[in-house]
Structure 1
Amino acid sequence: MSIRHWPQGERPREKLLAQGATALSDAELLAILLRVGTRGMSAVDLARHLLAEFGGLGRLMNAGLPELAKHKGMGLASYAQFAVVCEIGRRVLGEELRQQTVFDHPQRVADMLRLQLGHETVEVSLALLLDTQNRLITQIELSRGTPAENTVYIREVVKHALLHHATALIVAHNHPGGSAEPSSADLAFTRRLSEALALVDIRLLDHFIVTSLQTVSFAQAGWMPSLPTG
């Protein structure tokens, strides 16, 4: 049955207008974006099918064109729509972070990092450079490598921080393999970076590990190094 034949209160668009977007399921939200289904499938049916095939909304929205086009009803137009939605989300979160104290909103930082890094198939490292109020000055991509190899030079991080007059920073990288547990190299890098930044009076506030399913904060997990004072 086509959505237009459903009771009005059960149609995704009417439900959104009456109850707000948070009342909609993932499939209903996606159906509004898709607008139409395919032969024998309503937009909601198609949305449910795609969510099951891709294993969730995040993986579907970040799918590449070749992968998306394998599915009936999906093509260049759908890929463009999904890419635009994801990029708008990134930019909205970025604007909010620039206007607010970043370190007071770790979940908002985590959300932005999930949007940016969660879909990456290679390891990518970022730095968020912060001012004296812990507001975002700019974001720097530090490195991009293969799934098994990614090198971040500590002197480059310090150079970027000094160039932008940052007084604090947050670093993040993704684990394409899916595990959010830090490796011994991750822990060692965090300590060495924190020590190097301390020499020029810049604080390392946090280090995030991002996967397609979660974002983990070193600070919240108790993994940040304790540096000597005085």
Structure 2
Amino acid sequence: MEEKLLLREIPSSSLPRERLLKQGEQSLSDQELLAICLRTGQHPIHVMELAANVLDKFANLYTLKGASVEELMEIKGIGKVKAIEIRAIIELGNRMEEAMQPKVGKIQASFELAQRLIHTLKDYQQEHFICIYLNTKNEIIKQVTLFVGSLNQSVAHPREIFHGAVRYHAASIIIAHNHPSGDSTPSRQDILFTQRVSQCGEMMGIELLDHIITGQNTYTSLKEEELLKKK
């Protein structure tokens, strides 16, 4: 209760937002998080006090979770609009909790993926570099075209690849690009880049499963050719 009274004395409603940016949302109290969602108070009630009033009305967050619009409107400073906003926030949280990570197929073998990539990339006149992010069951959770143009160190960098891996909570990745010439034979640059990505993946605990290079109707799997790692 002492913490709640102290927070009510904070004059700036922007303080919780600043703390979230600097320290992360997990550092905020229930009252501060709710104040951010409410955005404003209702004169003369400060938004922090309004958030405290809502939390005082209900025994805990679980009870608040089941609050109706009418029950919320019984709180001083909560009108119909804010009551509806709180209900919408609660419902969105419920749906997030129940949401499943989207998946786009499962990788069984490099050959199957390569056939799909050949069809996708065969008509491109520029190199397209693709990263495929997978979960622990080798199910595709995201496929992203990261670069368009010649594959070189200045354009393609492991940090861009693994930024996505962290963002999408990937357990492993497959990278791929096309050779507009139609010849899928890897260049020395392709091999060195693949090995660099593989090494970065080892350090991060995110395995590079393969690098597939497609041509007109052919492909090369650097995993099958045992070129993923330096010998």
Residue 126 of structure 1 contacts residue 140 of structure 1 at CA under 8 Å; is this kept in 2?
Answer: yes
Aligned to 2:163: 159
Flag the 1:163–1:149 CA change in 2: closer, same or farther, 3 A: closer
Pairing 1:182–2:192 present: no
Counting only pairs closer than 5 Å after superposition, residues 34-73 of structure 1 correspond to structure 2 as none
For 2:206 and 2:131, the matched residues in 1 are separated by 13
Residue 144 of structure 1 contacts residue 150 of structure 1 at CA under 8 Å; is this kept in 2?
Answer: no
Aligned to 2:104: 98
Counting only pairs closer than 5 Å after superposition, residues 88-167 of structure 1 correspond to structure 2 as 98-100=104-106, 102=107, 104-145=108-149, 151-167=155-171
Code of the residue aligned with 2:217 in structure 1: it is: L
- Percent of paired sites with the same residue: 29
Residue 126 of structure 1 contacts residue 173 of structure 1 at CA under 8 Å; is this kept in 2?
Answer: yes
Of residues 192, 203, 213, the one that matches 1:199 is 203
User: Cα deviation per residue 1:104-160 (whole Å; 9 max; x = unaligned)?
Assistant: 232220111011111111011001100001110010101001699982121100100
Gaps in structure 2 of 5+ consecutive residues: 1-102
Code of the residue aligned with 2:117 in structure 1: it is: L
- CA drift of 1:218 comes to 0.8
- Cα RMSD after superposing both structures: 2.3
Gaps in structure 1 of 5+ consecutive residues: 1-96
Greater Rg by CA: 2
Pairing 1:224–2:228 present: yes
For 1:131 and 1:147, the matched residues in 2 are separated by 26
For 1:127 and 1:186, the matched residues in 2 are separated by 15
For 1:168 and 1:182, the matched residues in 2 are separated by 22
TM-score, normalised by the number of residues in structure 1: 0.52
For 1:148 and 1:157, the matched residues in 2 are separated by 14
Code of the residue aligned with 1:138 in structure 2: it is: K
